[in-house]
Amino acid sequence: MVDARVLQTQAALTEAILELAAAKPVAQISVAEVARRAKINRATFYDHFTSPGELLASVATVELDAVRDLDHELRERGELSPTEITRSAVHSVVVMVDSHRAAFALALLDARDASLHRRLAAHLQQSCQYHVTTYVKDPVVRGKEAVVARFVAEGIIGGIESWLDTPSMSIDEATDSIMVAMPSWW
């Protein structure tokens, strides 16, 4: 069981980084600012994270873990087609980004700091690698799982960044655009 104080601190840190990152790029946010906003000291911050960028990435990681878990559950149940399950997962990722749109737009579109891009891509790559090795039966992919997983993960992140840079595009349009680029054997 997790200590209630730890959960309270994590909630305060999450709220603080989302507010701060919505106002300026995460690379310009100091640990002191996050700690002040979360009403904790810097040492407590460092007990949990090494940087504001890592904190922001952890917010996404928790939500991406839930998307990955649901994707696996739906595939194991076999009630939907693989394409429907993939669309659901992609849609959930786009919705997650949209729920923190101001913060993620500044962080993902910051040409000076690609740390959030790299962290999200790494998480998606791990999920895609598991997907490719577990569910993709196309022999063309065998032996190329790592390259394929990274290609798909970077494509999803690239699609999300393009969507963030296109304010008129809806969540469904972003999802559909990413799905068009997904390999047919996925």
Q: Report pLDDT digits (tens) over 72-125.
A: 999 999 999 999 999 999 999 999 999 999 999 999 998 888 888 999 999 999
Smallest Cα–Cα separation from 164: which of 152, 177, 153? Answer: 177
| DSSP three-state, residue 130 | helix
Per-residue confidence (pLDDT) for residue 111, from 0 to 100? 86
Is the distance from CB of 109 to CB of 28 less than 8 angstroms? no
pTM for the structure as a whole: 0.89
Per-residue confidence (pLDDT) for residue 65, from 0 to 100? 95
CA 172 → CA 18, 72, 168, 169, 179, distances in Å? 24, 22, 12, 8, 10
Is the distance from CB of 85 to CB of 71 less than 8 angstroms? yes
Residues near 18 by Cβ (< 8 Å), separated by ≥ 6? 56, 59, 100, 103
First CA to last CA distance, the chain: 38
Per-residue confidence (pLDDT) for residue 115, from 0 to 100? 85
Chain centroid, CA 104 distance in Å: 9
| DSSP three-state, residue 71 | helix
Average pLDDT, consecutive stretches of 10 residues, N- to C-terminus, the chain (186 residues): 85 97 95 97 94 92 94 95 96 96 93 88 95 91 94 96 94 97 90
Smallest Cα–Cα separation from 179: which of 96, 93, 90? Answer: 90
Phi and psi for 137 in degrees, rounded to 5? -105, 0
